Amino acid sequence: MESITRYLLVSSIVLFGFVFYRWLLRYLRRNELQATFPYVFPFARQLFTKPESLRFELTLAGNVVVKLSGEDGRILAVLLERNFAVGTHDVELDFSNLAAGAYELKIEFPNQTTTRHIKLYMQ
């Protein structure tokens, strides 16, 4: 009896989640609400060669700053600082003056900051 009760409870929670998700999608489409946060596309590879392309989509126009820091958190270089319009952008990042190793890429958008961990290796 206890297993049937537990099954009914879990099933009702899953069904509620599914119905709520479907309702939310229809509500967002009907009201044409869009996300106001930028999106950084995943990199093509795990290990970077020099140079590499950074692709991102902006929902608000503004200044984008890309900083590179070491494992200790110290900022090593500012790779990009430029204003961009709304839309999808591809930017070439040059890692030619850096040694192989692990780094953090900090991407500052008008309303959000994103951090990506990257690894450089020599060819």
Domain borders along the chain are: 1-33, 39-120
In this predicted structure, what is the pLDDT of residue 97? 78
Looking at domain 39-120, does it have CATH number 2.60.40.1930?
A: yes
Q: Is the dihedral of CA 60, 61, 67, 73 positive or negative?
A: negative
CB 58 within 8 A of CB 85: yes
Give the C-alpha separation, 71 to 118, whole Å.
10
pLDDT in tens, 34-92: 556 777 877 777 677 767 888 888 888 889 999 989 888 888 888 889 999 988 889 98
* Mean pLDDT, residues 13-23: 87
pLDDT at 27 over 90: no
In this predicted structure, what is the pLDDT of residue 52? 80
